[in-house]
């Protein structure tokens, strides 16, 4: 199905120069008295390389259907990450480059959405928040309770974030996966 470049959105898959690419980023630009254009960052699913491409705003782009499947993170196999479909128990192994910063929020049996193009995984989407266990949290200094004082803490995945003074090692906290910030105790 062909769409105008203006309708491109992050996460779509398109055919570009004979290859299937996933749209990583899209910016609409209208410089001064020139014609509007769309600047897109595309990643080839065959080679894994990213490139910046400029489309005219009315230029037609061929889209490719995406299939999203709910999966669970199972374990880390060396550098790779293994995900399992909870219904069929089929496993998919993804590279660290494909998982990216999502690795900081992956816990065993944690739900994710894996997007496929032609039976090839192209993207991992996290839920809006996850529950993680605090592994390191220095003691809050008594009297340091002015207004909303925070301290650094490390969670089980290695992520370091700011938490309130009352959070101790071993506690479970809810973390926003979009911003990497503490939300609440879990």
Hey, do 2-64 and 67-125 end up sharing a CATH topology, with the first three levels equal?
A: no
Pick the CATH number of 2-64 from 3.90.25.10, 3.40.50.300, 3.40.190.10, 2.30.30.30: 2.30.30.30
Phi then psi dihedrals of residue 179, to 5 deg = -110, -15
Mapped onto helix, strand or coil, the DSSP state of residue 5 is helix
What Rg, from alpha-carbon coordinates, does the chain have?
21
141 has pLDDT over 80: no
CATH code, 67-125: 2.40.50.140
Give the single-character DSSP code of 137: -
Which of 23, 29, 30 lies closest to 8 in space, CA to CA?
A: 23
The pLDDT score that the predictor gives to residue 10 is 84
Q: Any idea of the CA torsion for 140, 142, 148, 154, to the nearest 10 degrees?
A: 0
Summarised one tens digit per residue, pLDDT across range 76-95 is 888 899 999 888 888 888 88
- Supply 135's token pair: 């592994």
Boundaries of every domain in the chain: 2-64, 67-125, 129-185
The pLDDT score that the predictor gives to residue 71 is 92
Query: Which residue reads 């003074």 in tokens?
Result: 165
The pLDDT score that the predictor gives to residue 144 is 54
CATH topology for the 129-185 domain: OB fold (Dihydrolipoamide Acetyltransferase, E2P) (2.40.50)
């Amino acid at each position: 199905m062909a769409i105008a470049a203006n309708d491109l959105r992050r996460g779509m898959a398109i055919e570009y120069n004979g290859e299937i690419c996933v749209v990583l980023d899209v910016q609409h630009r209208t410089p001064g008295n020139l014609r509007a254009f769309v600047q897109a960052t595309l990643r080839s699913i065959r080679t894994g390389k990213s490139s910046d491409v400029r489309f005219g705003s009315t230029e037609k782009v061929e889209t490719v259907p995406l299939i999203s499947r709910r999966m669970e993170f199972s374990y880390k196999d060396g550098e790779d990450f293994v995900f399992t479909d909870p219904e069929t128990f089929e496993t998919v192994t993804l590279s660290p480059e494909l998982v990216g910063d999502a690795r900081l929020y992956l816990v065993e049996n944690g739900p994710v959405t894996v997007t496929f193009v032609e039976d090839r995984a192209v993207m991992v989407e996290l839920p809006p928040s996850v529950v993680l266990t605090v592994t390191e949290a220095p003691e809050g200094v008594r009297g340091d309770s002015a207004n909303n004082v925070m301290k650094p803490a490390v969670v089980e995945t290695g992520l370091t974030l700011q938490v309130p003074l009352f959070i101790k090692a071993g506690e479970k906290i809810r973390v926003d996966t979009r911003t990497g910030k503490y939300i609440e105790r879990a």
